[in-house]
Structure 1
């Protein structure tokens, strides 16, 4: 797999989302992803991550995707994170 393929799979499940995917090791099976979606509003981090893993489960089960470092945010959480990093 490559980052574009992982991003496309996530975009199918989260069409409203802003998605970043990177390859952590260059081996095509260890990725990092940041997903910002309205679907995460009101959900805790565990529930957000379950939604993302659900979108990729077939690839995880097959071993095509071995590891995923994940950060998820609702748009409000994303904005708060940006303000904390960049300052007011």
Structure 2
């Protein structure tokens, strides 16, 4: 289970990209993150896959906080979560 609680991300320039975002997704569930440009969708996805630090809040995967996972564990997480970006380029 993916459990996101009160996630907040503030960039160094002071821009608040995410404010109190919460979401729960069960294993096997398909979730779509939609919104206007600049709403924080990509930031949230980067938080989920461990590429963006949280300013506050928590992201738990099967009751384990992702910020405590080592690189090998995060690699395994990234293999299990799929993202489809709005813009994609195939070489």
TM-score (norm 2): 0.30
Which of the pair is proportionally richer in helix?
1
Answer 1 or 2: which has greater strand percent.
2
